[in-house]
Structure 1
Amino acid sequence: MSALDEVEKVLWDHYGLRGPFEVTALAAEGRNNSLVAFRSPGGAFVWKQGSSALAPVQQREFALLAWLAEQDLPFRMAAPLRTLAGAWGWEGGRGLNVLLPLLPGERLPETADAWHALGTALNALHAALARFPLEGAPRLLDWAKLGDLHPRVPDPLALSFEQPDLWGDEATLHSWRLAFGEMLWRVRDAYAALPRQVVHGDFNSVNVLFGGGGVSAVLDFEFACPGPRLLDVATALSEVLVRPEPEWALAQAFLRGYGQLTLQERAALPAALLLRQAAVGVWGLGQALEDGPNATTQARLRELGTVSAWLKTQGDRLTTG
């Protein structure tokens, strides 16, 4: 049986879908899962294949998506379709497989109007997620507890002395240690006192679709977790600010759409930016321990020093507005 025959058999067995199937491009590409978009006489869909290790996380993600679909939100979510047997997906290949609707929309453009719409969408999402129980989040871990983020990395700082080669070079290692220490004291200060709720966990332009002058869909709730709403705000802002030429106009448009941050949240923005990048780096260290270091994992570690250096020149403007 050819690979195409196998695909057609799986889609027929689990969803009653008949071909012909035509593969199509995705506006938002996945980074943590394998995604294949296709059109068929029965509709347009995305086949998502995840690691079997993520299956419990994905099951909680699907429950969250089902709940969000019942809320009054101005955008759609790609909630998985039930199989003929009533399940959210099936086991096979790399792990858990699900079928999602292919939602209309394009990549978010870098315009003030689009980033204002992004802020408005995040405000609406946070209002809904604040009503969702913390224990139902796909990821049950607050990112501030970095030692619990990846089972292979219980102490990131100690690992930097035990296996410094994971960082690639001495300059990256040195700047990472300094920035990691800065992150720790900043998180213990203003960030730790912020109230927690369920947050998206990876909110940026890659995980939304844009259409009709606004955000038409919010995607990928796999990293939704307990945390301050500021974590999502910082994730979005870092995309347009931590650059050689920061796009302050886009950041300001985003914040106008999102609404006023509290004084405590403003003060904690540097901590949130550093924590976000530190967490990405710690996850990369876990991957490097499992599969070996590579350019991607080392770039994630290097970026923490970049964020720290950026804050030295731009941090005052970030916290004062």
Structure 2
Amino acid sequence: MTDTIDTIIEHYFPLDHVSTEPVPFGLTNTTRFVTVQDRKYVVRHYNRYTKSQDSLSLEMKVTSFLNELPLAFEIPAFLPTRNGEGYVILSDGTLGALVTYIEGAAPPLSTLADANALGQVVGEVSVRLREFGELKDCHPYTGIPFTDFYRLHPLATREAAAAFWETPPFPITDEQRRIYEESLASVEANRDALSALPRQVVHHDLLVFNLLAVEQRITGVLDFDFLAEDIRFLEFAISLNHVLHMSGGSLEMAQAFIEGYALYGGCTYEEMQQLRTLTRLYHIAVLHIYIGQNRSGKDNAAAFAYIANQLIERDNWLQCHEDQLKTLLEPLLRAVK
């Protein structure tokens, strides 16, 4: 893999005086920090199954658009190769690229101020991505939405997913199987209602692990790998789930997150009614990505169990706290745009 990383870097800089080091993030792609003459960059070798030329071009177009805006945080910018290309196509057909380095570390998510700051970032990103979608020439390719979860990984088709559950490659508990089947049935039963919800470009992965902060101020938003036009409110549902998971289901943290998000946008009554279904949809999508990764040879039993158990926990929480959560969401109904 070092040779592959070197090959990518060589398309940007001569390898003389270049050093690389591991990064503390990047589960899907192979990523390294690169230092050239005391200046730092990030090099990425993309996963062959989840990154195509179309999806990489979409990511470049979106991040270029965002970098032209006066945001409260930075977005990595793609560097052109020495030949003026936007990215590298390797001999095996996989892709690589070099982007700018942003200073910082993953922000904490332990106080109400942390949750509020995350809500503001999610709200601002969502508003800006909506503006991108309003451009007449935004991009002909719109990505693979999480609502189309049988296409998120080429090795996790409908038939492949069914085969996985029929003969799991690692132990699956009865409760994990039950919640998956129940969630899948719920999503399918609500297809018409989901398809009627507002749509726009969605990041799909606005978790603290994909953010950077300096002195507790969020300074960077990373990992636009799963960009796609999708249900607008899915962005909120994914990040709210993250806050609840990291806080042990704290209503106070959820409220702080919602109040931060409401500074930039809101939701319709119909979106609010589908929050539980959207949360189920998110977990199904991630599980399908993991099914594809497992079929490609990756040992991800622990990651799969982590998300399956998170789905059990979150679904129970949403059922038990339905009334309290609706009260907390009222500011979003007033703030809807």
TM-score range, shorter chain: 0.7 to 0.9
Task: Work out whether 1:55 is the aligned partner of 2:58.
Answer: no
Q: Is the 8 A contact 1:167 1:301 kept in 2?
A: no
Once the two structures are overlaid, the 10-residue window that deviates more, 153-162 or 257-266, is 153-162
- Partner residue in 2 for 1:234: 237
The structural deviation recorded for 1:166 is 4.6
Task: Work out whether 1:175 is the aligned partner of 2:179.
Answer: yes
- Partner residue in 1 for 2:69: 71
Q: Distance in 2 between matches of 1:113 and 1:158?
A: 40
Q: Is the 8 A contact 1:119 1:258 kept in 2?
A: yes
The structural deviation recorded for 1:238 is 0.8
1:300 to 296, 299, 307: 307
Task: Work out whether 1:271 is the aligned partner of 2:277.
Answer: yes
1:283 to 256, 264, 289: 289
- In structure 2, relative to structure 1, the CA distance for the partners of 1:186 and 1:157 (3 Å cut) is farther
Q: Is the 8 A contact 1:118 1:254 kept in 2?
A: yes
- Partner residue in 1 for 2:95: 96
Once the two structures are overlaid, the 10-residue window that deviates more, 72-81 or 129-138, is 129-138
Partner secondary structure for residue 239 of structure 1: helix
RMSD: 3.1
- The unaligned stretches of length 5 or more in structure 2 are 329-337
Structure 2 counterpart of 1:239, one-letter code: H
- In structure 2, relative to structure 1, the CA distance for the partners of 1:197 and 1:21 (3 Å cut) is same
Q: Distance in 2 between matches of 1:157 and 1:7?
A: 32
- Partner residue in 1 for 2:321: 314
- Partner residue in 2 for 1:122: 122
- CA deviation string 1:255-292 (max 9, x = no partner): 11111433222222111111100111122222233327
- In structure 2, relative to structure 1, the CA distance for the partners of 1:159 and 1:36 (3 Å cut) is same
Q: Distance in 2 between matches of 1:212 and 1:138?
A: 38
Structure 2 counterpart of 1:102, one-letter code: Y
- CA deviation string 1:174-220 (max 9, x = no partner): 3321232233334543x332110111111111111122553211111
TM-score, length basis structure 1? 0.84
Structure 2 counterpart of 1:317, one-letter code: Q
The structural deviation recorded for 1:50 is 0.8
- CA deviation string 1:14-53 (max 9, x = no partner): 2357415263x64x51111111113332401111111244
- CA deviation string 1:225-259 (max 9, x = no partner): 11222111111111121479312222211111111
The structural deviation recorded for 1:9 is 7.6
TM-score, length basis structure 2? 0.81
Structure 2 counterpart of 1:45, one-letter code: Y
- Partner residue in 2 for 1:132: 132
Once the two structures are overlaid, the 10-residue window that deviates more, 8-17 or 167-176, is 8-17
Q: Is the 8 A contact 2:29 2:45 kept in 1?
A: yes
- In structure 2, relative to structure 1, the CA distance for the partners of 1:168 and 1:122 (3 Å cut) is same
The structural deviation recorded for 1:139 is 5.4
Q: Is the 8 A contact 1:146 1:279 kept in 2?
A: yes
Q: Distance in 2 between matches of 1:178 and 1:282?
A: 15
- The unaligned stretches of length 5 or more in structure 1 are none
Q: Distance in 1 between matches of 2:8 and 2:290?
A: 33
Total equivalences in the alignment: 315
Identity of aligned residues (%): 23
| 1:145-224 map, 5 Å | 145-155=148-158, 159=162, 163-166=166-169, 168-169=171-172, 171=174, 172-186=176-190, 188-189=192-193, 191-211=194-214, 213-224=216-227
Q: Is the 8 A contact 1:139 1:223 kept in 2?
A: no
Q: Is the 8 A contact 1:14 1:83 kept in 2?
A: yes
- CA deviation string 1:50-90 (max 9, x = no partner): 12442312222112211221122221111221111111232
Partner secondary structure for residue 37 of structure 1: strand
The structural deviation recorded for 1:104 is 0.9
